[in-house]
């Protein structure tokens, strides 16, 4: 879906996101980060409705703090936390590729998204499953 959105956006708004292989790597890393976060939500939620609400809240918080709605400039500890946001990393990666950067230039954003995915996967294994009736 992200690939379709980027392609349609590129055609309709004449935006160049850069080299397709680099953009594809960014999209896959973003999907892995989002999917791994879903595993945490599934472990915590008792019902599908709870999971939907929690996912919506997380999506809004990550989107706002990652600069999806408007750019955020922060320094210090807050700046470091914002930099570790997978939305911010994805946006930063697209900025790099649209500026002409290739696979060699997107290492940090990809590492941030994959690190986020790894942490969420680990958390999903450590959190007790609340969805299973005792």
What does the pLDDT look like over 38-92, one tens digit per residue?
A: 999 988 888 889 889 988 999 898 888 888 787 777 788 888 888 889 999 999 9
| pTM score | 0.84
Contact present, 42 and 51 (Cβ < 8 Å): yes
For residue range 59-70, list pLDDT tens digits in order: 898 888 888 787
Domain boundaries, the chain: 2-126
CA distances from 106 to 18, 24, 32, 57, 111 (A): 12, 11, 16, 28, 9
């Amino acid at each position: 879906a992200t690939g379709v959105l980027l392609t349609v956006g590129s055609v309709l708004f004449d935006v160049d996101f850069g080299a397709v292989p680099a953009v594809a790597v960014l999209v896959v890393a973003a999907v892995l980060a989002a999917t791994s976060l879903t595993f945490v939500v599934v472990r915590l939620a008792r019902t599908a409705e709870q999971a939907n609400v929690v996912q919506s809240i997380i999506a809004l918080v990550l989107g706002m703090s990652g600069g999806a709605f408007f750019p955020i400039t922060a320094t210090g500890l807050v700046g470091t936390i914002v930099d570790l946001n997978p939305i911010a990393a994805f946006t930063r990666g697209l900025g790099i590729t649209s500026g002409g950067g290739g696979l060699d230039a997107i290492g940090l954003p990809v590492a941030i998204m994959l690190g986020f995915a790894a942490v969420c996967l680990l958390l999903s294994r450590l959190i007790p499953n609340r969805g299973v009736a005792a």
